[in-house]
Amino acid sequence: VVIEAQGPAAAIGRFGKRLRAEAPPLAAIHEIASVLLPPAPGEGFVIDASRPQAGATTAVPPDVALCAGCRREVRDPADRRFGYPFTNCTNCGPRWTIIESLPYDRPRTSMAAFTMCAACRAEYEDPGDRRFHAQPNACPACGPRAWLCGEDGLGRVDDRPLAAAAEALAKGLIVAVRGLGGFHLAVRADDDEAVARLRRRKHRAAKPLAVMVADVAAARAVADVTPGEEAVLNSPAAPIVLLAIRIRAPRSRLPWRRATAASA
């Protein structure tokens, strides 16, 4: 990132300090190098268009798990993003999997096909907003939508895709969730018959499957979670974490069944 800042020396000095101290959650400042430039005309705050440079080595940003702010909005019936599965902001959301080329700007992502509505555009252009220059910014009015297909993979079988998928899971069916990076096969972890069916179809007789839980409190019901593991689970990367098993699934007999289940 190249920043051109001008003003009294003391203000520029404060800016340099705050740049590190108040960087947004996902910022990773490896190094700051500064040079003095002659004063130039212009005022206000502007983000210039990215200029691709030959030989530029910009790291491709990773996908980031839903942040607390977006989680609140998705759960708030009064919010315009209530229940919207593609909610994101500058603190969270897809990056790696939607980028087609660098530098990372919306026209070079799979979000190029979606034109922001007036409300999203206003957020995108407001330096005080959490979604200022959030490239995949979207809402139910302008962004991608979820739908549910039947077993043939065709057509929309229900107009409440998330609720219907949850009902299917509850019934013991396998649901293929097309996520950011491909298909994610999900099944009830506490349904031995359903898990066995998934294992048969996946030809994964014994390899552990990741268990999805709603939060760390739910994870504690099935596994021991150390403070370090909790921090990693709640981190922006939100990786799959190997935990020490705490309970034995009631109807399981085989050792690998006890320690596993759920998703692939």
Give the whole-angstrom CA distance, residue 57 versus residue 52.
10
Whole-number minimum distance, CB 136 to Zn ion, in Å? Answer: 10
Query: CB of 75: closest distance to Zn ion in angstroms?
Result: 13
Instruction: Tell me how many residues contact Zn ion (CB under 5 A).
Output: 10
Q: Binding pattern to Zn ion, positions 83-122, x when CB under 5 A?
A: ------x-xx------------------------x--x--
- The answer to whether residues 138 and 111 touch, using CB atoms and an 8 Å cutoff, is yes
Question: One-letter amino acid identity for 228?
Answer: G
Q: Does 243 sit near Zn ion (CB under 5 A)?
A: no
Q: Which among 35-43, 98-106, 133-141, 161-169 is the span making contact with Zn ion, rule CB under 5 A?
A: 133-141
**86 token code pair:** 């593609």
Name which of 88 and 260 has its Cβ closer to Zn ion: 88
| Bridge partner list, 186 | 175, 263
Site for Zn ion in 59-88 (CB under 5 A): 67, 70
Looking at the chain, the number of H-run helices and the number of E-run strands are 8, 4
Of 64, 139, 168, 243, which one interacts with Zn ion (CB under 5 A)? 139
Report in angstroms the alpha-carbon separations of 176 from 165, 171, 239.
9, 14, 20
> Which CB sits closer to Zn ion, 95 or 199?
95
Cβ atoms within 10 Å, residue 65: 16
- Amino acid at residue number 179: G
Q: Confirm or reject binding of residue 174 to Zn ion (CB under 5 A).
A: no
Positions touching Zn ion (CB under 5 A) are 67, 70, 89, 91-92, 117, 120, 139, 141-142
